[in-house]
A and B are shown apart, each in its own frame.
Chain A
């Protein structure tokens, strides 16, 4: 398996524009997580899904952020409108919840810069 695939790897956009980050989890995994990493705040959990259903979105900063998982092989994180303070590295991770396969595997991340 190619692992968790995120796209794009880098995104530079202007304030006010819509940004969509994409994630393809590892095939067969049933949990998916979106994290944001900044120097100031560290690694923050934004939202996670189990079997394509959002379980906890309490980490989503505000209504400008939304996430979807239309099927088991694809998820998006959308920011509309984007602001400079959204600049960060966004990670997607997936895992198989069960007796043994509980670790999460991370993608390479999307580095977002909002100017």
Chain B
């Protein structure tokens, strides 16, 4: 069975500082990995994905993530945090072994950026 772990319930960072939100995954085959963001009373919004190729992927709003196969990790990063980045962040994995595959989410990490 596939799974995603987000070990931190909350991450606090000062505006202008770099941020990292951690994610590790477990799948039986090759993973497709995703990050989503959720603002209050809204649905989840897609940020970025890793399918294949370069291990460093860039996404929306200046976010990037690094795929590390040996550590089975896909941490979300941003060089300089903004207060407006404060939200709930979800990591997700999809095991593409065929045409039918489930999308499994982690428990989410709340990012709080302060002035």
Q: How many residues of B contact A (CB 8 A)?
A: 22
A66 to chain B: which residues have CB within 8 Å? none
Chain A, residues 32-70, CB within 8 Å of chain B (1/0): the string is 010100000011010010100001100000000000000
* CA distance in complex: A107, B104 (Å): 17
Q: Are B102 and A102 in contact (CB under 8 A)?
A: no
Stretch from B16-24, B42-50, B62-70, B77-85 forming part of the interface with A: B42-50
Chain B, residues 86-115, CB within 8 Å of chain A (1/0): the string is 000010001010011111110110000000
- Name the prevailing secondary structure of the B interface residues: strand
Category for how many chain A residues contact B: 20 to 34
Q: Is B34 an interface residue (CB 8 A)?
A: yes
Q: Are A43 and B108 in contact (CB under 8 A)?
A: yes
A33 to chain B: which residues have CB within 8 Å? 102-103
Interface hub of A42, A48, A55, A91 (most chain B Cβ within 10 A): A42
Q: Are A97 and B99 in contact (CB under 8 A)?
A: yes
Q: Are B108 and A45 in contact (CB under 8 A)?
A: no
- Do A45 and B49 contact each other (CB < 8 Å), given the known contacts A50-B100, A97-B100? no
Chain B, residues 1-45, CB within 8 Å of chain A (1/0): the string is 000000000000000000000000000000010101000001111
* CA distance in complex: A91, B43 (Å): 7
Q: Is A100 an interface residue (CB 8 A)?
A: yes
- Do A103 and B102 contact each other (CB < 8 Å), given the known contacts A108-B42, A109-B43? no
* CA distance in complex: A45, B44 (Å): 14
Q: Are A45 and B105 in contact (CB under 8 A)?
A: yes
Residues in A lying within 8 Å of B, measured CB to CB: 4, 31, 33, 35, 42-43, 45, 48, 50, 55-56, 91, 93, 95, 97, 99-100, 102-109
Counting from the closest, the 8 A-B pairs by CB-CB distance are A106-B43, A50-B100, A106-B44, A42-B107, A43-B105, A103-B46, A55-B100, A108-B43
Residues in B lying within 8 Å of A, measured CB to CB: 32, 34, 36, 42-46, 49, 51, 90, 94, 96, 99-105, 107-108
